[in-house]
């Protein structure tokens, strides 16, 4: 158990809909990362937050957004969903910003868009 | 971050050592070598990281070539639970550089009973 929790575990929804994925980082970790894992693209970084502020952006679509709240939990919002958004979404947390700090990953949310 | 090259797959027998290679010929002086693994149906898991010297922890050992252009993750006694995809990742340690992990395709390790 990494200490990172993600809800829900599974989500099935229809095209055009909007969903929210939630992540609670390890106790004391200030940095949260979101990654997407699909069969054709592998594991890809989406976005990072540190202590409530956005710090880095990857290949995140404009239809996707995220935020980190004062209690440090984070939410990833996916809107106007398309079939291609079906994937595993992982949240990871780390203690600080430094590149040597390991990231701890949650169990993921499996999103299926039908 | 600089690119890494790993074999697509490897097999090992249970309770034998496993050496997982990674080539990173364009590594820069500030790049740290990180290894993560992803067990089936789970999120990635940190294994080990190093800069220049060999490193040991409870999970594995990391052997880094003197010129740092390659490294090897060593599992001393493979168990069935070690069957996973192993990712070798370079992370620039200089301030202001990207902090996210850039995953390649990794090595699928199969452990045979």
Whole-number Å distance between alpha carbons of B6 and A37: 19
Of B43, B94, B98, the CB nearest to A90: B43
Alpha-carbon gap, residue A36 to A59, rounded angstroms = 10
Residue A28 burial by CB count (10 A; 0-12/13-18/19+): exposed, middle or buried?
exposed
Backbone angles phi, psi at A37, to 5 degrees: -125, 115
A57/chain B closest Cα distance in angstroms? 9
| A87–chain B Cβ distance below 8 A for any pair | no
Q: Does A25 touch chain B (CB under 8 A)?
A: no
Residue of B98, B100, B105 to mutate for A, most A C-beta atoms under 10 A: B100
Q: How many CA atoms lie within 13 A of A97 on its CB side?
A: 14
Q: Of the ranges A105-109, B17-21, B55-59, which one carries the lowest mean pLDDT score? A: B55-59
pLDDT in tens, A43-87: 999 999 999 999 989 989 999 999 999 999 999 999 999 999 999
Q: Do B49 and A108 touch (CB under 8 A)?
A: no
Q: What's the rounded mean pLDDT across residues B70-88?
A: 97
Name B11's Cβ contacts closer than 8 Å, sequence gap at least 6.
B109, B110, B111, B112
pLDDT at position B76, please? 94
pLDDT digits (tens, 9 = 90+) for B21-66: 999 999 998 889 999 999 998 999 999 999 999 999 999 999 999 9
CA–CA distance, B79 with B73 (Å, rounded to integer): 15
Q: What is the pLDDT of residues A14-34, one digit of tens each?
A: 999 999 999 999 998 999 999
Size of interface A-B (CB pairs under 8 A): 62
Distance from CA of B36 to the nearest CA of A (A): 9
Residue A19, classed as helix, strand or coil, is: strand
B108 close contact with A: CB closer than 8 A:
no
Q: For residue B97, what pLDDT is reported?
A: 62
With beta carbons under 8 A apart, name residues in chain A contacting B103.
Answer: 35, 42-44
| Contact at CB, B34 and A102, closer than 8 angstroms | yes
């Amino acid at each position: 158990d990494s200490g990172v929790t993600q809800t829900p575990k599974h989500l099935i929804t229809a095209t055009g809909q909007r969903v929210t994925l939630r992540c609670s980082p390890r106790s004391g970790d200030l940095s949260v990362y979101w990654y997407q894992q699909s069969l054709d693209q592998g594991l890809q970084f989406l976005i990072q937050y540190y202590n409530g502020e956005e710090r880095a952006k990857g290949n995140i679509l404009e239809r996707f957004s995220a935020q980190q709240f004062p209690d440090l939990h984070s939410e990833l919002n996916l809107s106007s969903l398309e079939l291609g958004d079906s994937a595993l979404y992982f949240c990871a947390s780390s203690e600080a910003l430094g590149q040597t700090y390991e990231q701890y990953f949650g169990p993921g949310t499996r999103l299926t868009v039908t | 971050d600089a690119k890494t090259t790993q074999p697509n797959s490897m097999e090992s027998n249970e309770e034998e050592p496993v050496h997982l290679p990674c080539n990173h010929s364009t590594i820069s002086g500030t790049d740290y070598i990180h290894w993560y693994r992803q067990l089936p149906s789970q999120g990635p898991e940190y294994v080990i990281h190093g800069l220049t010297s060999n490193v040991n922890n409870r999970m594995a050992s990391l052997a880094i070539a003197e010129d740092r252009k390659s490294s090897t993750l060593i599992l001393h006694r493979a168990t069935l639970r070690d069957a996973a995809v192993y990712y070798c990742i370079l992370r620039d340690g200089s301030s202001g550089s990207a902090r996210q992990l850039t995953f390649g395709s990794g090595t699928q390790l199969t452990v045979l009973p």
